[in-house]
Structure 1
Amino acid sequence: MKILLSCLCSLFSICVMAQQKPTDIDKSPMDVSYCPYNYPILKMSGKAGDQPVARVLYSRPQRNGRRIFGDVIHYNEIWRMGANEATEIEFFRNVKIGGKLIPKGRYTLYAICTETKWTIAFNTEKDYWGLAQNPKKDLTRVEVPVQKITDPVEALTIYFEDVKGGTNLIVMWDEQKISLPIKF
C-alpha cells in the first residue's frame, strides 16, 4: 500500500510539474554592473582582488519613444530605479555616501526625481518586486543634481565610473543623467 501511495504521489507531482511553462522573455531584462568595471572578466584573468567593491542589480526598461521623466516617472514620487524587481546595490566593504558611513551589505535603491535633482534612498529592506518602499527603513537619502544629456538614452543604464578615492554611480535614461559619488 505504501508503495502504491508513493507511486501515485510521484505521478501527481510529475503531472503538476509538466503543466509549468517557462516565462516569456522580459521586456526589461535584468543587468548587473560592478565596481571595478568588468570585475568578473578581471577575476577570470587573475587581475582582480578578492572581491569587488560594489555591484548593482537592476532591470533595464526601454524608452520606446516615450518621455520618461515627468510622464512615465512622475516628478516628486518614489521610483524603484528600474522595472519589475526593485534595484539593489551591494557593497562588499564599508563606503561613504554623502558624508555618511554605509556599512557593507545589500540595499534597495529608490529615487525621487525632479527636473533638477534626484533624491536617492538606500533602503534596508530587500527582495521586493515593484514599489513596496518603507521610508522608515531608509538608511540614508542623498540629493544629486540632474545633468541634461543631448542624446536620449534608450534603455535605463547604471554603471560605476572609477574616480580617485572611490567611484561614481552613474544612472542615465532618456535625457537625464546623475552621478552619485561613493568614497572607499
Structure 2
Amino acid sequence: MKNIFIVVFALICFSAKAQQASTAEVKFPAADPSPADIVYFPLNAPKVKAGDPTKPVIKIIYSRPQKKGRDIFGVLEQYGTVWRFGANESTEIHFFKKVNIGGKKIKAGTYSLFAIPNKDTWTIIVNGETDKWGAFTYNQSKDMVRVNVPVKTLVKPIEYFSLTFTPATEGANLIIGWDRTQVELPISF
C-alpha cells in the first residue's frame, strides 16, 4: 500500500509539473510597425461564395510601412536606388496564370517585386528570387522584367504604403501609393 501511495504521489507531482510547463507564458514578439497585408486581383477573389466562378489571377503579399511625418521618396528611399517595395521581407507577387508585363510574358508562379523610385518615373522590377529580407541581397541577374512607369503626384499624402488593383480592358493595373506618390503598373492576361 505504501508503494502505491508513493507511485500515485509521484504521478500527481509529475502531472502538476507538466501542467505548469505547458501553461507557462510564451513570450510573443511585439506587433510589427509595418504590418503584412495581402491584395488580390480581382479584389473580391478571396471572399467569393460557393457557386461564384471568380478565381484569383494575382496575389501580392507585402508589408506596409508608415510615413510617420517623414519625407519618403528622395529622402528615406533614395532616388535611383533599388527599393524592397514595402518593408521587411521582399514583396511577393503570385501569378495564377501567365501574364504580360512591359511586353514580356511571365509564367504562372511566385516572384518578388522591387522598384527604383525617381522623381518623375519609377522602374518596377519583377524578380525571380523570393524569400529575401529587403533589397540587401537583390540580384539583378534574376530580373524577369523591368518597366518604367510615370509618377503621379498626389495632393493628399497616403500614410501607409498601399497597393490595390483596378480592372483594365486586357487585365489589371497595379496601383502603388505612398506619401504623395502614385504609380501604376499595367498587367495583361
Shorter-chain-normalised TM-score: which range? 0.7 to 0.9
| Deviation of the 1:122 alpha carbon | 0.7
**Normalization by structure 1: what TM-score?**
0.87
Q: Which amino acid aligns with 2:181?
A: Q
Distance 1:37 1:62 in 2: 23
The answer as to 2:163 corresponding to 1:158 is: yes
* Gaps in structure 1 of 5+ consecutive residues: 1-10
Count residues in correspondence. 171
* Contact 1:122/1:140 (8 A) holds in 2: yes
1:114-133 alignment runs, 5 A limit: 114-131=118-135, 132-133=137-138
Contact conserved, 1:39 with 1:48, CA < 8 A, in 2? no
SS at match of 1:172: strand
1:89–1:151 Cα change, 3 Å: same
Secondary structure of the structure 1 residue equivalent to 2:122 = strand
Give the distance between the partners of 1:183 and 1:83, measured in 2 at CA. Answer: 26
Alignment of 1:104-123 (within 5 A): 104-123=108-127
Looking at CA atoms only, which structure, 1 or 2, has the larger radius of gyration?
2
Matched, 1:47 2:87: no
- Aligned partner of 2:184 in structure 1 is 179
Which deviates more from structure 2 when the two are superposed, residues 19-28 or residues 167-176? 19-28
In structure 2, stretches of 5+ residues that fail to align are: 1-16
| Correspondence for 2:72 | 68
Aligned residue for 1:144?
149
Percent of aligned pairs with the same residue? 45
1:35 to 2:41 alignment: yes
* Structure-1 residue corresponding to 2:4: none
TM-score by length of structure 2 reads 0.84
Aligned partners of 2:130 and 2:180: how far apart in 1? 29
Query: Which one-letter code corresponds to 2:108 in the other structure?
Result: K
| Matched position secondary structure for 1:40 | helix
Per-residue deviation, 1:19: 8.2
Q: Please give the alpha-carbon distance, in whole angstroms, between the structure 2 residues aligned to 1:46 and 1:63.
A: 41
Partner of 1:25: 31
CA RMSD of aligned residues (A): 2.0
